[in-house]
């Protein structure tokens, strides 16, 4: 008995090849899409954790943001000059430049996973960062780094540990204060951007210097401090990055410390309420964009109570359009 040999015809082969190509394309797109989704969500999770650490560190500093020293028994010693104020610098962004379309969508959604909340309180708004600004020139080396610009200062403030120099019945020690500057630096270009999204990002950095040479000097020789008047003798030029005489915690703060990366916009809000000698409320909003795609963003907001006067160096901008 003879058996016929059967093979695949050219048409059958082409059909199978076409089906396999379509299936392979589908699976590869599924894999690429899944990988991108995983990377985006992984980046969001890490960015939120980074912002949480940033706010925790700032909160510890702001808790010591008070006038140089105080006497619990004889009243408060205050030097209310601008040297000890909490200064909000002049922002370089307008409201229209501060937020991308992705951020505006994020703000109006219920995004509880990254702490976004709708603005509801009247405030003065000050915007910092690159936002959605375009036309920023590139340096050739290193790749992706944008043209060098001065650091953009956001805040400067003083945090102090109280002391009771020459006060009867109390430890004879000097107060110690630190000067802090919060600023943005190291601008880099985002790789894949869409229209009306963020095109560059920066590092959020805080720089700290201490004064260990000052003390509280009584006014008019009033050694008893019965009038609660005194002056801290550290001047602006007395702060340095020396670690001598500092505690271990203070030593860890000295110098420049990286707080957060991929930052595109920082908003400082001075909440509008009756001023008093005890506190002023501010809110800090940080928006970060993924370094590979400007449409992936996270936003985190925290409110703080500041014990010193809060001075805004520049005129406030308009509120975000989602609360207008």
Which tokens in the block code for residue 184?
């943005």
Summary count for the chain: helices (H), strands (E)? 4, 11
Residue 168 has what DSSP assignment? T
pLDDT at residue 314 above 90? no
What angle (nearest 5°) sits at the alpha carbon of residue 312, between those of residues 307 and 313? 135
Residue 74 pLDDT exceeds 50: no
Q: Is pLDDT above 60 for 144? A: no
CB 147 within 8 A of CB 138: yes
User: Peptide bond preceding 142: is omega within 30 degrees of 0, i.e. cis?
Assistant: yes
Place of tokens 């409320």: 281
What residue ranges in 136-254 does DSSP mark as E strands? 152-161, 176-189, 200-211, 216-218, 230-232
Q: Which residue has the higher pLDDT, 72 or 180?
A: 180
Does 219 or 309 have the greater pLDDT score?
Answer: 309
Question: Domain segments of the chain: what residues?
Answer: 21-319
Q: What is the pLDDT of residue 161?
A: 74
Report the pLDDT value the prediction gives residue 238, as an integer from 0 to 100: 84
Look at residue 141 in the predicted model and tell me its pLDDT: 47
Q: How far apart are CA 58 and CA 259, in angstroms?
A: 9
Above pLDDT 70, what percent of the chain? 66
The reported pLDDT for the residue numbered 260 is 95
pTM above 0.75, yes or no: yes
Give the model confidence (pLDDT) of 263-282 as tens digits.
Answer: 999 999 998 776 555 678 89
Pick from 211, 224, 250: nearest CA to 61: 250
Contact 191, 291 (CB under 8 A): yes
For residue 106, give Cα distances in angstroms to 118, 171, 176, 222, 323: 10, 52, 42, 58, 14
Taking residues 37-43, what's their average pLDDT?
77
The torsion defined by the Cα of 90, 94, 97 and 102, in degrees rounded to 10, comes to: 100
> For the CA atoms of the chain, what is the radius of gyration?
28
């Amino acid at each position: 008995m003879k058996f016929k040999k059967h093979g695949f015809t050219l048409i059958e082969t082409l059909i199978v090849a076409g089906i396999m190509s379509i299936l392979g394309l589908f699976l590869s797109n599924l894999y690429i899409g899944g990988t991108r989704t995983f990377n985006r969500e992984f980046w969001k999770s890490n960015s939120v954790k980074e912002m949480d650490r940033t706010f925790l560190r700032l909160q510890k500093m702001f808790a010591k943001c008070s006038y140089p020293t105080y006497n619990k028994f004889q009243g408060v010693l205050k030097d209310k000059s601008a040297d000890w104020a909490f200064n909000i610098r002049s922002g370089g962004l307008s409201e229209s430049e501060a937020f991308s379309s992705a951020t505006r969508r994020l703000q109006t959604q219920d995004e509880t996973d990254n702490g976004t909340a709708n603005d509801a309180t009247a405030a003065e708004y000050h915007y910092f960062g690159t936002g959605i600004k375009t036309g920023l020139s590139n340096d050739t080396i290193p790749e992706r780094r944008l043209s060098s610009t001065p650091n953009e200062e956001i805040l400067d403030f003083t945090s102090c540990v109280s002391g009771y120099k020459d006060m009867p019945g109390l430890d004879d020690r000097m107060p110690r204060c630190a000067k802090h500057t919060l600023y943005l630096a190291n601008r880099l270009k985002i790789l894949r951007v869409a229209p009306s999204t963020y095109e560059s990002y920066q590092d959020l950095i805080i720089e700290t210097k201490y004064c260990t040479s000052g003390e509280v000097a009584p006014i008019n020789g009033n050694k008893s401090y019965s009038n609660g008047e005194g002056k801290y003798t550290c001047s602006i030029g007395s702060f340095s990055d020396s670690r001598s005489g500092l505690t271990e915690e203070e030593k860890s703060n000295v110098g420049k410390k990286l707080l957060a990366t991929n930052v595109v916009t920082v908003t400082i809000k001075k909440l509008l309420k009756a001023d008093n000698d005890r506190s002023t409320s501010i809110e800090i909003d940080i928006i970060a964009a993924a370094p590979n795609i400007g449409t992936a963003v996270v936003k985190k907001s925290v409110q703080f109570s500041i014990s010193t006067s809060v001075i805004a160096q520049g005129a406030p901008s308009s509120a975000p359009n989602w609360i207008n």
